[in-house]
């Protein structure tokens, strides 16, 4: 199995939960579900909502995030929220 090197900032896209069959769902980039982490998509779409945390059984991704203060952190998205963020839920069929 090929090891994917981390970029200089310490991480790249990782996925969690059950595979959804996408090319990103390689075993070497799978991580434990980050239970309790807020979903960045929920925070963006529903800022007043207390829902939107990653729970056991969730599917999704984590990505590095530049926080605007010179720091780098990791944020998580539910799969459906990430697809909405990138517009994939609005693609025409076919």
Query: Residue 69 falls within a domain, yes or no?
Result: yes
In a domain, 9, yes or no: no
Angstrom distance (rounded) from CA 87 to CA 2: 31
Q: How far is CA 76 from CA 81, 93, 94, in A?
A: 10, 27, 29
Q: Average pLDDT, stretch 23-42?
A: 90
pTM of the model: 0.75
What spatial distance separates the first Cα and last Cα of the chain, rounded to whole Å?
34
Domain span including residue 32: 14-89
Name the domain count of the chain: 1
**pLDDT band per the 50, 70, 90 thresholds, residue 79:** very high
Task: Give the pLDDT score at 30.
Answer: 93
pLDDT for residue 86 is more than 70: yes
- Assess if residue 67 is contained within a domain: yes
């Amino acid at each position: 199995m090929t090891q994917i090197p981390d970029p200089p900032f310490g991480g790249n896209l990782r996925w969690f939960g059950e595979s959804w069959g996408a090319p990103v769902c390689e075993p070497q980039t799978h991580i434990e579900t980050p239970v309790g982490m807020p979903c960045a998509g929920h925070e963006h779409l529903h800022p007043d909502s207390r829902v939107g945390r990653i729970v056991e059984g969730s599917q999704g991704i984590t990505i590095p995030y530049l926080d605007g203060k010179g720091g780098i952190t990791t944020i998580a998205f539910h799969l459906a929220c990430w697809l909405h963020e990138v517009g994939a839920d609005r693609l025409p069929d076919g």
